[in-house]
Amino acid sequence: MKDAAPVRQPVPSDRIAVIEGSREREHLPTVVVDDPQDLAVLLAERVVEIVKRETAAKGRCVLGLATGSTPIGIYQELIRRHLAGEIDFSQVITFNLDEYYPMSPYSIHSYRLYMMENLFAHVNLDPRNIHLPDGSVARRDLEAHCRAYEQAVRDAGGLDFQILGIGRSGHIGFNEPGSSPDSRTRLITLDTITRRDAAADFFGEDNVPLEAITMGIASIMDAKEIALIATGEHKAQIVRRAVEGEVSQDVTATYLQQHAEATVYLDLAAAGELTRIKTPWVLESVEWTPGMTEDAVVWLAEKTDKAILKLTARDYRENYLSPLLNKYASAGEVNGEVFNRLRDKIRGRARLPRGQKVLVFSPHPDDDVISMGGILRKLWENDNEIVVAYMTSGNIAVFDHDVERHLDFIVRAAPSLGLKQAQIQEVRREIEAGFHSKQPGDVDSERVQGLKRFIRESEAVSAIAALGLPRSAARFLNLPFYRTGEVRKRPIGDDDVEIVLELLRGFRPDMVFAAGDLSDPHGTHRLCKAAIDRALEPYEGDPQIWLYRGAWEEWSITQADVLVPLSQEELRKKVLAIFKHQSQKDVAAFPGGYDDREFWQRVESRNLDTAAQADRLGLAEYYAMEAYRIE
């Protein structure tokens, strides 16, 4: 069992700022905080309160638990509190929501292993009090197993507190669209969206089980208290449907609107489509800060399909923005103010830094060229000293057939390189035999992990060279948290932070670029950002921090602080640099479940779209644009 990595000391729950606003359109109590770690603290605090209350009252507490990436922070915080003596699990009984079927409890994909690694092995739970659906039970015995699971919950006195996540199809547990509100624990066929979202964990959608055992809607609704948790921008649309939409079988999370003690907990990214977050002026009076004014005017321009400078007083009055208009002498004045703010965000090469030391952190070996290939080339042309630090090896994203292809090359090239062909052939046979015997998702041998790492490193060096940077600009940090050989990673530890801090102290950058993702479906970008943040705390310097987005989204024009225009030729060169990552070309191992296009296609589209949006708003017309936030 893996040891739990050191957990960063969180902000106390009484100091966490909850984002307020009108809840007029929300059918569920909803708590919004800025950061996912804040959610973990709030939920862990609630679990501690309930465990203490229930064990004092009746000698036991019954918790319903969920899996996935969202609850991990909660479990880490509970482990920390247990080790600090703040919570005793000896009288706690747990029931998990679901399990894939069929699924061995010993599989790396099993939720039993997930729970052991992320909670059970680190607290004083009595093993007899741990309950999970059994994915290995014979199909003929499934119905009886599900009835017995329901009975076990009843025998324990029912669930005192149920933690839920939400899938992009709106499911809770594995209750897919169409699930009845009367449903109980049962076998269910998984929705296509659910299987696609799980593909990364199983090294391909074809390997995801077609079915799962899940507690039913009625089983969940029997819990005395329910917490639905969501983090990340990719959950924002379905969260809005669950919170603001009508109750419907199409989105089973909407059933929670009928529960007296259900609360939704969101980070700001997941709450981004709620009316009170996205367009609060529609609901109530707001403070017209420059940022809020910018958001409202751009929203109005897009709603009316007009350029900013063509908006009229009537447009403002007919679209909830009379209070904003009343702050100015005329529509023209507010239009001009916002237009000038947006115009000033645009920085061509002449307005970008010169003669600086620039440190680019790339979570995976291709995020640098995917997200900032345009500005990277411009910064090099401006005589900046640049280091690109690849934080993880990215080796799990290399297919076995790519290793076989490279081995074939080495065998063929051996005579020209003066290598012993027989020895290489022997190693090749050993590696290929391992490939043929392993199952999807099995951890590669250390030798194969190393080969896959070297493939990614050689591609990264080739990509920055295509942008004009010297190969010596690359640094490969190979952070320990990533070195599991699995999709699941360890939490960021002190050893990860120390590697980043050592680079900062050695290079002394004036500027630092980092991934500021809100939508990274696998969590690596968030973990890498956490390592950078922790390293910057003891670091003696004060570099300017620029945030880029990953392969999945782009900063909007209002979110961005800097818009970097690209010519058609510059975008072409950026795409060619992305092509150097041949192991990720055509079919990537982990493309993310939200977009079927190749990475270069997503990049081209989003850079073109940003420029097109600026053009529609009446700003200068450019071929393409990259967007950045300054932290």
Q: How many CA atoms lie within 13 A of 56 on its CB side?
A: 7
CA nearest to 515, candidates 339, 319, 382, 364: 364
C-alpha to C-alpha distance for 392 and 365, rounded to whole angstroms: 7
391 close to 362: Cβ distance less than 8 angstroms: yes
Single-letter residue type at 16: I
176 close to 252: Cβ distance less than 8 angstroms: yes
Q: Which strand ranges, in their side-by-side order, compose the sheet holding 262-267? A: 30-33, 262-267, 226-230, 161-164, 61-65, 92-96, 130-131
Single-letter residue type at 235: K
C-alpha to C-alpha distance for 264 and 254, rounded to whole angstroms: 11
359 close to 390: Cβ distance less than 8 angstroms: no
What single DSSP character describes residue 186? E
| 423-454 b/e (C-beta count within 10 Å ≥ 16 → b) | ebeeebeebeeeeeeeeebeebeeebbebbbb
C-alpha to C-alpha distance for 517 and 234, rounded to whole angstroms: 11
Q: Is 176 a catalytic residue?
A: yes
CA nearest to 83, candidates 183, 180, 3: 3
Single-letter residue type at 122: H
* Selected catalytic residue, list 77, 99, 176, 459: 176
What single DSSP character describes residue 248? B
CA 1 to each of CA 57, 78, 136, 245, 439: distance values in angstroms, whole numbers, following the listed order: 34, 18, 21, 43, 21
C-alpha to C-alpha distance for 218 and 507, rounded to whole angstroms: 58
DSSP string, 505-562: HHH--SEEEEE--S--TTSHHHHHHHHHHHHHTT-S---EEEEE--SS----TTT-SE
C-alpha to C-alpha distance for 410 and 421, rounded to whole angstroms: 9
The residues annotated with a catalytic role in the active site are: 176
